[in-house]
Amino acid sequence: MSDASITDIAQAEQGTSLWHDAWLRLRRNRLALFGLGILVLFITIALLTPWIAPYGYAEQNLDLGASGPSAAHWLGTDIFGRDLLTQIMYGGRISLAVGFIATAVALLIGVTWGAVAGYVGGRVDAVMMRLVDILYALPFMIFIVLLMVVFGRNLLLLFLAIGAVEWLTMARIMRSQVQTLRQQEFVEAAVSLGLSPSTIIRRHVIPNALGPIIVYTTLTIPSVMLLEAFLSFLGLGIQPPQTSWGLLISYGAETMEEYPWLLLFPGLALTLTLFSLNFLGDGLRDALDVRGSRD
């Protein structure tokens, strides 16, 4: 008997979830798909870099010095004769990692913080959000610079520092989403079924609040990557021999007049990534907007 009903369900017509529906709409947006494609490509390259990079990470050729693009070095070499393509590939690993990991940190803290504050409400909400306000009021550059100066420069701290700044907006967005959702009848129905608050937040509230969060995430990643580039440019971020796009651009800028390709190619890589993320974010915003979904 029970087996029979399970086959019934397996055979039942599969419905279209809102996520699936959004994907169908996203698929019609060429620019967003282009962005998604570029991102997937860059991430794949970043993951495979140690195996596919044409030269070693620290391999120098001082005799060669800075040379323009050639058959041996597609994107040229820097003043120490290091292959620029290799540098960009390794730099991309750091830049993308900072972008994604710091955003993930922000996402985790921000979504949880905002969801709890919005759902519980009252005094808890007031205290939690005042804390956010106070952190907002700190000049974040000084905050990060201080962290870097006190604890020394290291990659993990950079993730945490950037994440710690970016989660604030995330928490605010989440909270306002949750506040509207909390009054929805399906949440009330979940309460009346006897579900615990944590289950309700996890299963009924967060999935319905994710749309704007996802969009905001795709816009946070580029700003985090820019922040890293900026910090590295100032000499506060990544330290050589490690490198990142921001650092490469910084060196490139110094020698812009003699060796323009040292600025051009890392700049191009960063710009392309940022554009892709913005296109994808725009596309997702349109695709997830439920108002446009039912015609």
| Residues at the site binding other proteins, with contacts judged by CB under 8 A | 1-2, 5-6, 8-9, 12-19, 184-186, 188-195, 203-204, 207-208, 294-295
Give SS3 for 77. strand
Pick the closest to residue 109 from 154, 197, 170, 36 (CA basis): 170
- CB nearer other proteins, residue 130 or residue 203: 203
- Minimum CB–partner distance for residue 14 and other proteins (Å): 5
Q: Where are the alpha helices (DSSP H) in the chain?
A: 2-11, 18-27, 30-52, 84-120, 122-137, 140-151, 155-182, 185-193, 197-199, 206-234, 245-254, 261-288
- Minimum CB–partner distance for residue 187 and other proteins (Å): 8
Give CA–CA dist 85/130, Å, rounded.
47
**Cβ(166)–Cβ(159) below 8 Å:** no
- Minimum CB–partner distance for residue 6 and other proteins (Å): 5
**Cβ(75)–Cβ(96) below 8 Å:** no
Give CA–CA dist 257/268, Å, rounded.
17
- Minimum CB–partner distance for residue 195 and other proteins (Å): 6
- CB nearer other proteins, residue 116 or residue 187: 187
Q: What is the dihedral angle through the alpha carbons of 289, 292, 293, 295, rounded to the nearest 10 degrees?
A: 170
- Minimum CB–partner distance for residue 26 and other proteins (Å): 15
- CB nearer other proteins, residue 84 or residue 111: 111
